[in-house]
């Protein structure tokens, strides 16, 4: 509903509040990797945010189905996205020539 709000809050290791960002989607899973937060939502969007500013690094990618889980490969070359219907979507990370 309009009264429900979702937000991402950032704290330091010592518990100091650093900032927050209001989200339009309901987050179902997220991974923190390097300097980025990779998030999947119930509305089917894959978002990549900067860890320190919480701003979007790229426009959210529409998966068209709710995202249930996210994982990132050891080499940080791909994002694995599990959808509600059981499909696994593999998203390449980096420049098109590298993917």
pLDDT tens, residue order, the chain (99 aa): 455 689 999 999 999 999 999 999 999 999 999 899 999 999 999 999 999 999 999 999 999 999 999 999 998 899 999 999 999 999 998 766 554
Strands 61-62 and 78-83: unpaired
Residue 97 lies in a domain: no
Q: Give the per-residue pLDDT at 93.
A: 86
Domain range for 86: 7-92
Residue 98 lies in a domain: no
The number of domains in the chain is 1
Residue 81 lies in a domain: yes
**Is 68 in contact with 83 (CB distance < 8 Å)?**
yes
Residue 23 lies in a domain: yes
Residue 80 lies in a domain: yes
Residue 1 lies in a domain: no
Q: What is the CATH number of the domain that holds 28?
A: 2.40.10.360
d(CA 63, CA 67): 8
Residue 64 lies in a domain: yes
Residue 48 lies in a domain: yes
Sequence-separated (6 or more) residues with CB below 8 Å from residue 68: 28, 29, 40, 82, 83, 84
pTM, two decimal places: 0.85
Sequence-separated (6 or more) residues with CB below 8 Å from residue 44: 62, 63, 64, 65, 66, 67, 83
């Amino acid at each position: 509903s309009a009264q429900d709000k979702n937000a991402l809050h950032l704290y330091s290791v010592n518990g100091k509040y650093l900032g927050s960002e209001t989200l339009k989607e309901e987050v179902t899973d997220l991974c923190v990797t390097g300097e980025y937060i990779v998030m999947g939502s119930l509305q089917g969007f894959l978002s990549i945010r900067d860890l320190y500013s919480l701003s979007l690094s790229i426009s959210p990618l529409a998966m068209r189905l709710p995202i249930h889980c996210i994982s990132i490969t050891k080499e940080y070359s791909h994002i694995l996205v599990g959808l509600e219907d059981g499909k696994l979507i593999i998203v390449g990370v980096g420049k098109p020539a590298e993917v």
